[in-house]
Amino acid sequence: MTLQETISTDLKTALKAKDEIVLGTLRLIKAEIQYELTKTGASELSDTAVMQILKTNYKRRKDTALEYDKANRPDLSSKEIEEAEIISRYIPKEVSEEEIGKATEEAILELSATGPQDMGKVMGKVMAKFKGQNIDGSKVSSLVKQALSAR
């Protein structure tokens, strides 16, 4: 079963269970998937494309929750956090810092990187290794920068 089909099935389940928060969140995700389908003219999106939609929405919810916290609106913040948790069910676990560090060292050795000027090449190699997995680009960037500046 594809990710898109899983979301549709869970949407139907939430509708039958009258689970409003899950229903609302999945409807928004489904609408974005439908928008992408219309834009591309495809009949179904790949799991990678759906994953990108999910990651974008997850990050958006987390950022919005932080903004609500800063504005002293815990009621709205908790709703955003709840929606982010629902979305996170469909996102695989994030690649660990240890795995990123190991891949960074391997890429540095393979490319014979000598300093910060090689950051782009090393970043590209590390990101390519984890393509299709849940990886935080900013975390990769800081670890690569740290490893290269130590050289």
Q: What domains, with CATH codes, occur in the chain?
A: 3-89 (1.10.1510.10), 97-150 (1.10.10.410)
User: 32-81: per-residue pLDDT in tens?
Assistant: 999 999 998 988 899 889 988 999 999 999 999 999 999 999 999 999 99
pTM over 0.75: no
CB contact at 8 A, 145 and 119:
yes
DSSP 67-93: HHHHTT-HHHHHHHHHHHHHHHTTSPP
CB contact at 8 A, 88 and 58:
yes
- Mean pLDDT across 126-147: 88
